[in-house]
Structure 1
Amino acid sequence: MTSGQWAAPGRVNLIGEHTDYTDGFVLPLALPQRAVATASTRDDGLLRIASEQEPETVETEVAKLAPGAVEGWASYVAGVVWSLREAGHEVGGMDLTIDGNVPLGAGLSSSAALECATALAAVDLYALTIERPTLARIAQRAENDFVCVPCGIMDQSASLLCAEDNLLFLDTRDLSTEQVPFKLAAESLALLVIDTKAPHALVDGEYAARRRTCEEATAVLGLPALRDVTDLDAALAALDDEIMRKRVRHVVTENARVLETVDLLRAGRVRDIGPLMTASHESLRTDFEVTVPELDVAVEAALAAGAYGARMTGGGFGGCVIALIDASADSDVLAAVTRAYGERGFTAPTSFVATASAGAHRLA
C-alpha cells in the first residue's frame, strides 16, 4: 500500500472531566464529525503536510523531526510521525492532506482526531503492527512532548477505540475498556451539543496549572493517584491549601459520578443520568473553576427548557455544552439558549445532535 485515506472522529465526554490524567475514569463517545487524512508514501524522507482549511503547506525532513521543529496546526501531524519513530517504528516520508469537519476550538478534540487519522495512515502505509491502545499512547505522546500540551489519554483513546452506539468506559490507569450501550433514539432521547462560541484554548497554562495542582496534592497525600482517595473528608483535612482542596474534591467526586453513570446505563436508566451530568458541571464551575459565563448560561437555559441534565464538555474555558433532552426538543432547547445569550450580548450559539459513532478507520 502506498496511498489511501483515513478518518478519525472528534469526541464529547458524557461525564468524567479532568480525571484522565489522574488515573481516573472517563466516558466519552465518538462523534460523526471527523478529521480525514489523505496520505501517500515518499521515498525522499520528506514529510509534506497540507490542509484544505489552511493556506500554508509545511515540509520538513522526517529524520530531523524534534519538538519545536514544526509549530501550529501541522505540529499535531508531525508530532505523530516523530512519536512513532521515537517508539522504534520505521516511518519514512509521507505526503498528507488534511480535511475534516470537527469544529475547531470547540473542545471536541479536533487535535486528537487529526493525530489519530495521521497515526492510522502511517501504520497502514508502513505496515506497522501496533495495537490501538498503544497507538493512543503514541498519539498522546505527540501532543504532550511535541506540541507541549499536557493532555491525558482520553481524547486519543476515544478517537481510536469508540464503537457505534456505545460509550467508551475507560479506566485511564490500566487502559481497560468497556463498550457501554448508548442508543438514545430507542428511549426517545437525544444528546444535544451546544457550541457556545466562547473560544476554547488549553495552551495558555490554565489546564496545565490544574494538572500540576492535582499532582502536588497526590504527593502530599502520599497516594499513587487521586482515584486512590478512600476517605474524601480525611483527604481534604490533610490539605492546607483551599485551591488544592477544591481540585481534589472535584476529581474524587467526578470519578464517583462516572461509576454511578455507568451503573445506571447498564440498568437501562438513561434519564436518571441527567442529574449526575448537572452535578458534574456544578463541580467544574465551583471546585475546578474551568467554566466561563457562556458555558454556565447555556447549562442554566438548557435545564430551564426541560433538559434532564447538562454540563460543559472538554477542558473548559470555552467550548461546548452537552444536554440530555427529549428527542423532539432540540430546537426548543437551542432557542432557549439563544434567547439567554441575546439578553447577555453573547455571540449566538449553534448546535447539533450527537450520535455515538465508530472510531478511526480507513476510508479508501
Structure 2
Amino acid sequence: MSGVLPAWTTDEGTARATTLFEQTFGAAPLGVWAAPGRVNLIGEHTDYNAGLCLPIALEHRTFVAVSPRADRLVRLVSAQEQSTVREVRLDDVAPGTVEGWPAYVVGVAWALEQAGHSVVGFDVAVDSCVPYGAGLSSSAALESAVAVALDDLAGLGLGGDDAERAALAAACVRAENEIAGAPTGGMDQSTSLRATTGNAVLLDFTPGLDAVDSARHVPFDLADAGLALLVVDTRAPHALVDGQYAARRDACERAARTLGVTSLREIADMLGRSESPADELPAVLAALDDDVRPRARHVVTEIARVGTFVGLLDAGDVTEVGPVMDASHASLRDDYEVSCPELDLAVTAAREAGALGARMTGGGFGGSAIALVRATDIAAVQDAVLAAFADAGYTPPDLLVAVPAAPAGRAA
C-alpha cells in the first residue's frame, strides 16, 4: 500500500531538527520543542463566527531546535525551504514587513512582546512531518512549537495549565493574522496547544469565555469502537492568503451586520432553542443578499452539526456520526463553496468503499479530506481512494491514519 505517511517518533524529529541546527549554526541547540498539526472532525469556518468546532491533534508534528541569542536577531532555517538561512531583526517586525514562512516564527515573538512579555533574538532550525499545504495546520504547528520554545527559554510561564496555554494560543493567532497576513480563526493554534491524548477538544469561540469554559475534552477512542479516521491529503493547491478565505470571512461579517447581531453564533443559538430550527432558518436568513445567504446558512447549520456530533460522542454512539460528516461536506461544497474536485472525489471514493462518513477538513480550496472507517476496511478505502485519483489523472494523494495526540511541548 503506497502513499501512507507515518508520523516521526520524538527521537527522530528531535534528531532531524538538531542535525539541521548544528549543520547551519555550528553548535548544538539549547533544546528542541514540537507541536502537532490538527485535523478537524466537524465545525468548519465556525471559529471566526464565535462558533463551535471539534478538532484533534495529530501525531504528526513540527520540531524546532532553538537557542537564544544575546541580541535582537532571529536566524531561521527550515528543512522544508531548501535550508536557506533567513535573518530578521525583531525590532523590524510589524504587519507587512516579513514575507514567507519566517513570518509565522518571528510573528509569535512579536505577538508575545505586544502582550507585554520580554523576548530576545534566537536561532531556530525547523523540520516537520506535518504535510505542508494539506489543510492540517502546518502553520499553526510551527507557531505553536516556537511559542512553547520561547515560553520555556524566556521563562514566561504560559505553557503550564490550560488557561496559560489559551493565552499562548492567542499570541499565535495574532501572529498569523497580523504578521503572516492569514485571517484565520483560533481553532488551529488552540488545538495544537490545548488538545490532549485520546480526546477531541470542543472549542467554543464565544467572546469573553475563560479557558475553562472555552474548551472541553471529549473522549474519542476510535480503536475501542473498531474504527479509524483516515486522512486524505489530496495535494491539491491550498492557501489561506490568496483572498478566498478572507472573502468568506467578510461575507459572514456582512451577514451578521445585516441581521443585527455581533456574530452568526447568535443566530445558531437562537435557532437551537427552537422546536423546528430547519423550518425557521429560511425566514431568519431571508433579509440577506443572495451571495451572502448560503455562507451564513453553512455557518449556522455547521454550528448545530457540531452539537449533534458531540452529543453522539457523549452518548457513546461514535458509529452514528457519519451522516453528520456527510452533511457537513455537502454544506461546505454547496453553501460555502470551499471544496474542489479532488476533495469531492476523495469523499465520494471513501464512501463508496465503505466509509461511514466523509468530509473535507480545514479551510478548503484544496487540502485534506477525512473518512471515518471500520478498522477492518482501512486498506480497502485507502486503495479505493488511490485508484480513484489515478483514474481521474490527479496527483496521487498522501494518506495517514489520525489518532488523537498530545499538545505542543518540549521534545528534548
Q: Which residue of 2 aligns with 1:150?
A: 183
CA deviation map 1:297-344 (0-9, x unaligned)? 111111111100000001001111100001121111111112222222
Per-residue CA distance 1:153-207 (angstroms, 9 max, x = gap): 0000000000000000000112511100011001110000011111111111000
Q: Which moves more between the two structures, 68-77 or 112-121?
A: 68-77
Q: Deviations over 1:56-80 (max 9, x none)?
A: 1111222222223321111110111
What is the correspondence of 1:66-215 to structure 2 with a 5 Å cutoff?
66-130=94-158, 131-173=164-206, 174=209, 176-215=214-253
- Give me the TM-score of the superposition, normalised by structure 1: 0.97
Question: Which segment drifts farther, 340-349 or 316-325?
Answer: 340-349
1:236 has 2:285 as partner: yes
Q: Give the distance between the partners of 1:223 and 1:270, measured in 2 at CA.
A: 34
Cα distance in 2 between the residues matched to 1:301 and 1:196: 12
Once the 2 structures are TM-superposed, how far is the Cα of residue 255 of structure 1 from its aligned partner?
A: 0.2
Is the aligned partner of 1:3 residue 2:30? yes
Q: Is the 8 A contact 1:163 1:357 kept in 2?
A: yes
Q: Which amino acid aligns with 1:32?
A: E
Show the counterpart of 2:18. Answer: none
- Mapped to 2, the partners of 1:61 and 1:204 lie a distance apart of 26
Is contact 1:43–1:92 with CA below 8 Å preserved after alignment?
Answer: yes
Could you tell me how far apart the structure 1 residues matched to 2:398 and 2:376 are?
17
Greater alpha carbon shift after TM alignment, 63-72 vs 43-52: 63-72
Residues 247-266 of structure 1: matches in 2 within 5 Å?
247-266=295-314
Structure 1: 5+ residue stretches without partners: none
Mapped partners of 1:209, 1:30: distance in 2: 27
* Aligned length, in residue pairs: 362
| 1:60–1:197 Cα change, 3 Å | closer
What secondary structure sits across from 2:200 in the alignment? strand
Corresponding position of 1:267:
315
Match of residue 49 from structure 1: 76
Task: State how far apart, in whole Å, the 1-side matches of 2:84 and 2:284 are.
Answer: 51
CA distance in 2, matches of 1:44, 1:359: 30
SS in 2 for 1:275: helix
Residues 62 and 82 of structure 1 are in contact (CA less than 8 Å); yes or no, is this contact kept in structure 2? Answer: yes
TM-score scaled to structure 2, two decimals?
0.86
Secondary structure of 1:179's match? strand
The answer for the alignment partner of 1:219 in structure 2 is 257
Alpha-carbon separation, structure 2, partners of 1:97 and 1:340:
38
Q: CA RMSD in A?
A: 1.1
Displacement of 1:129: 2.3
Task: In structure 2, list runs of 5 or more residues that go unmatched.
Answer: 1-28, 159-163, 272-280
Match of 1:14, SS state, is strand
Which of 359, 367, 388 pairs up with 1:319?
367
Could you tell me how far apart the structure 1 residues matched to 2:257 and 2:399 are?
Answer: 41
2:381 alignment partner, one of 327, 333, 349: 333
Q: Which moved more, 1:154-163 or 1:54-63?
A: 54-63
Could you tell which deviates more after superposition, 61-70 or 195-204? 61-70
Checking the alignment, whether the CA contact within 8 Å between 1:226 and 1:248 is kept in structure 2 is: yes
User: Any conservation in 2 of the 1:334–1:350 contact (CA below 8 Å)?
Assistant: no
> 2: distance between equivalents of 1:331 and 1:49?
40
- Secondary structure of the residue aligned to 1:150 is coil
CA distance in 2 between partners of 1:312 and 1:142 (Å)? 26
CA distance in 2, matches of 1:136, 1:180: 20
Counterpart CA distance in 2 for 1:126 and 1:251 is 40
Shift of 1:212: 0.2
**Deviations 1:198-241 (Å, cap 9, x if unpaired)?**
111111100000000000000000012101112423321121x1
Specify the SS of the correspondent of 2:110: helix
Deviant stretches of 4+, over 6 Å? none
**Structure 1 match to 2:275:** none
The residue type equivalent to 1:21 in the other structure is Y
- How far apart, CA to CA, are the structure 1 residues paired with 2:106 and 2:97? 9
Q: What letter is aligned with 2:155?
A: A
Aligned residue number for residue 302 of structure 1: 350
**SS in structure 2 at match of 1:21:** helix
State how far apart, in whole Å, the 1-side matches of 2:307 and 2:134 are.
Answer: 26
TM-fit CA distance, 1:52? 2.2
AA aligned to 1:110 is S
**Amino acid of the residue matched to residue 302 of structure 1?**
A
Q: Per-residue deviation at 1:242? A: 1.4
- Aligned positions of 1:277-296 closer than 5 A: 277-296=325-344
Percent sequence identity over matched residues?
A: 55
